Amino acid sequence: MKKLPIKNILLLLVFLGTFLLIAELSIRITYGVRLVYEVDNELYWKLKPNQIGHPDFGLPTASINSDGFRGKEITPPHNCNILVLGDSYSFGWGVLDNETYPSLLDAFMGSSTEVINAAIPGYGLFQENILFKRIYPNLNPDVVILLLNKHDLVRTPFTNESAKEKYLLHITLRKKIGRYSELSKFVSQKINRAFGTRLGIDSLNYVSEYQDFKTLWANQQHYIEEMTAILAKDNKKLYLILYPPKINNQTASAEFYNTITNSVGSNIVFIDDLDNANLTAEEAHISATDWHPSALAHQLIATRIYQEFQRANFMFNGKTCKPTSYPHPQSS
């Protein structure tokens, strides 16, 4: 068997390198750059500050401020501060910066109130709890909003340090490769969608999605209790949004709603419906292909929160946080 001449091998390498470079540039020109995440020993990952990128190919870009949160820079002092926690649902997966419900709520409330969107894609309830305790003392919000869905209970912390270190090393190496190659992310995504694989997906700390929901909640409801206890000391409340919401008092997730609403204590304001919207789930585009809220759904959520604020006469933590700008959503 004849060996390929060195010249032919070099030409082949040059061709492959040129092809990969063109493919990389084409993806970057077509889709832009994906958001970059940093490794965190407690949270496992967080968004890199000061960047603009898309969360996934074909989705709108998101602006990340110097604190690593989506949206404009945090500019205290304001009369009132509202902190939003959550995963990709609150982050605004698939919608523009000004279409997320935290951004819309910020516009509804006006210049005297600041709404901070601290939601991070992929976070579970335990990560939302850690982030809350990390940023609460400095931000000192008057109101905290948490949008909770069943997926938040699926991602859980590691139970031993060695498994955690292995995972952090894994995502550190993967993110270093992905940071320089949009092509590798694009190819991984296409393979996953075609064959149902999970290439490049950090799922090592997922528990089985088929685990009994009541068991998942029983093991994690203390995260909510810790947050409400901290808030109660300062005479503050947690606004807990259950998603997907009930429409016209109906839901496909009865166990999810009943288990949570019947097991948590006081100091929580539940928002578990969009009845006031007078729309069906299909009309609101709430049950999209990937189940993330559409731009219209974000509007409905922001309006529903605003209505709860109205019921409280915009009184939070002993102070009045009345809106100062228009237009405001219509009250029901």
pLDDT (tens digit, 9 = 90+) per residue, 136-156?
A: 999 999 999 999 988 888 888
Asked whether residue 332 carries a pLDDT value surpassing 50, the answer given is no
Instruction: Report residue 328's pLDDT band, with 50, 70 and 90 as the boundaries.
Output: low
Per-state percent for the chain, helix, strand, coil, to nearest 5: 45, 15, 40
Asked whether residue 112 carries a pLDDT value surpassing 90, the answer given is no
Query: In angstroms, what CA-CA distances link 226 with 7, 240, 306?
Result: 67, 14, 25
Structure tokens at 162: 């060695």
The full set of domain ranges for the chain reads 1-31, 37-157+207-320, 161-195
Least confident range from 10-14, 26-30, 169-173: namely 26-30
Domain 37-157+207-320 has what CATH class? Answer: alpha beta
Q: In this predicted structure, what is the pLDDT of residue 129?
A: 98
Nearest CA among 144, 131, 97, 104 for reference residue 304? 104
Query: In angstroms, what CA-CA distances link 324 with 108, 169, 256, 320?
Result: 8, 48, 37, 11
> Which residue has better confidence, 77 or 233?
233
DSSP conformational letter for 97: G
Asked whether residue 26 carries a pLDDT value surpassing 60, the answer given is yes
Q: Mean pLDDT across the stretch 45-62?
A: 92
Nearest CA among 210, 209, 261 for reference residue 240? 261
Q: In this predicted structure, what is the pLDDT of residue 49?
A: 97
Q: How far apart are CA 231 and CA 81, in angstroms?
A: 14
Q: What is the pLDDT of residues 202-220, one digit of tens each?
A: 555 666 555 677 888 888 9
Residues 44 and 171 sit within 8 Å (Cβ to Cβ): yes
Q: In this predicted structure, what is the pLDDT of residue 331?
A: 47
Q: Mean pLDDT across the stretch 252-276?
A: 75
